[in-house]
């Protein structure tokens, strides 16, 4: 697999996904990940507090993308339109990521209950950050929380579709389509 | 606190909430709960697989309410209207419950990470059951999943409000209000 992330942290993340996928999460140590990345165990722990966190380091960029899109949006938009801008900006975080690597990462997370729980916590934190950004724009409760939770649901559904076998559309196209489906939920059928 | 649930299972649930609230979840044994309810430890384990489950036995009634409302609804409704019917039926499950007792139960869950995780799993299972009920009515994907997750979000927000200090409105009134807020998320503001 070609290197796609420069720098020590990126090399550690890449090596971690490869090793976890090949030999299992429980069977892989931080020292092995560091060695595979040509780095020391000490360097590993300078970048990540524990073995689990090497899988979730990307969530900070995602939060920055979601929140900055809401902060910078023009006035007079509906909460769902703000969510649309945020999801579009968040999709950009995935543009240069090889889909197979994100798929491998998700398969590792799905294989371990404690990793799934960590992912749920990370998503809940993203939703709280979105809710706070919406509140800063004067959107009251419960609208801010509802909109942030809707963003989380749309993003989760879109990401699952993006990772599905045979899917070739970009995440931003899929997220826009899922948001349109959410907007159409009040149409009788 | 007056007895409000007849039968062994109800007495065990009631005694569990009282003991957990008074002396802590970790410090309370199944045998103590059984004794407080005037029953044996063996009877406890005939009703509940473990100490945790005594707090979550009500979720089965909630699932039956949500799913039956969707199954029995007339044709030609939107997914959000189906959710409205389901939330209304689910609210009925809480009508005869003393609010202080539900509040005490939630405080116990909030005090323990493993109980919170169990509650998240239960809510996820409710959302899956709702999604399946919507799919049986011919609602496709991702609409069925989106609508079920919206129901879960609305219910969680409404229940939190119902349990807030000083709140006296019924859960069904609050849930209808929160659903109306969800429907208004596409209005510019």
- Per-residue pLDDT tens digits for B108-130: 999 998 899 889 889 999 999 99
B75 and B34 within one domain: no
A142 touches chain B (CB under 8 A): yes
A47 and A62 within one domain: no
A2 is a domain residue:
no
B66 is a domain residue:
yes
A75 and A46 within one domain: no
Give me the number of domains chain B comprises: 2
pLDDT at residue A6 is higher than 70: no
A66 and A140 within one domain: yes
pTM of the model: 0.90
Cβ partners under 8 Å of residue A82, min gap 6: A69, A70, A73, A134, A137, A147
What tens digit of pLDDT does each residue of B39-60 get?
A: 999 999 999 999 999 999 888 8
B2 is a domain residue:
no
What tens digit of pLDDT does each residue of A75-114 get?
A: 999 999 999 999 999 999 999 888 999 999 999 999 998 8
Residue B1: per-residue pLDDT: 43
Residue B6: per-residue pLDDT: 63
Q: What is the ipTM of this complex?
A: 0.88
B131 and B115 within one domain: yes
Q: Taking CB atoms and an 8 Å cutoff, what residues of chain B touch A142? A: 157, 161, 178, 181
What tens digit of pLDDT does each residue of B59-97 get?
A: 889 999 999 999 999 999 999 999 999 999 999 999 988
| Domain range enclosing A34 | 8-51
Contact across the interface for A188 and B78, Cβ inside 8 Å = yes
Across the interface, which of A142, A147, A157 has its CB nearest the CB of B142?
A157
pLDDT at residue A2 is higher than 80: no
A88 and A36 within one domain: no
B1 is a domain residue:
no
B69 and B35 within one domain: no
Q: How many CB atoms lie within 10 A of CB A79?
A: 26
Residue B56: per-residue pLDDT: 92
Contact across the interface for A153 and B154, Cβ inside 8 Å = no
A136 is a domain residue:
yes
Give the closest-approach CA distance of B3 to chain A in angstroms.
Answer: 34
Q: 3-state class of A97 per DSSP? A: coil
Percent of chain B with pLDDT over 70: 97
Mean pLDDT of chain B: 93
Percent of chain B with pLDDT over 90: 85
Determine the residue among B76, B78, B85, B153 to mutate to test chain A binding: the one whose Cβ has the most chain A Cβ atoms within 10 Å.
B153
Boundary (domain end) residue, out of B17, B33, B51: B51
Q: Taking CB atoms and an 8 Å cutoff, what residues of chain B touch A145? A: 157
Across the interface, which of B78, B157, B181 has its CB nearest the CB of A189?
B78
B66 and B46 within one domain: no
- The CATH number covering residue B174 comes to 1.10.357.10
Determine the residue among B185, B187, B188 to mutate to test chain A binding: the one whose Cβ has the most chain A Cβ atoms within 10 Å.
B185
Residue A74: per-residue pLDDT: 96
Q: How many CB atoms lie within 10 A of CB A186?
A: 16
A28 is a domain residue:
yes
B141 and B85 within one domain: yes
A150 and A87 within one domain: yes
Helical ranges in B59-142 per DSSP H: 59-72, 79-92, 99-110, 113-136
A68 and A41 within one domain: no
B96 is a domain residue:
yes
Contact A108, A141 (CB under 8 A): no
pLDDT at residue A181 is higher than 50: yes
- The CATH number covering residue A41 comes to 1.10.10.60
Determine the average pLDDT of the residues in A62-69.
Answer: 96
A173 and A111 within one domain: yes
Stronger pLDDT, B160 or A6, i.e. the higher one = B160
Residue B5: per-residue pLDDT: 52
């Amino acid at each position: 697999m070609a290197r796609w992330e420069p720098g020590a942290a990126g090399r550690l993340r890449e090596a971690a996904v490869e090793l976890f996928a090949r030999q299992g999460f429980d069977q892989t140590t931080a020292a092995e990940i560091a060695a595979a990345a040509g780095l020391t165990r000490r360097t590993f722990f300078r970048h990540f507090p524990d073995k689990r966190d090497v899988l979730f380091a990307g969530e900070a960029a995602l939060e920055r993308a979601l929140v900055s899109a809401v902060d910078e949006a023009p006035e007079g938009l509906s909460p769902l339109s703000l969510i649309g801008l945020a999801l579009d900006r968040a999709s950009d975080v995935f543009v240069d990521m090889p889909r197979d690597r994100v798929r491998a990462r998700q398969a590792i997370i799905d294989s371990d209950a404690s990793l799934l729980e960590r992912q749920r916590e990370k998503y809940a934190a993203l939703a709280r950050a979105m809710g706070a950004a919406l509140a800063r724009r004067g959107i009251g409760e419960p609208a801010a929380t509802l909109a942030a939770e809707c963003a989380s649901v749309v993003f989760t559904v879109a990401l699952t579709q993006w990772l599905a076998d045979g899917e070739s559309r970009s995440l931003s196209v899929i997220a826009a389509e899922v948001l349109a489906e959410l907007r159409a939920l009040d149409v009788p059928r």
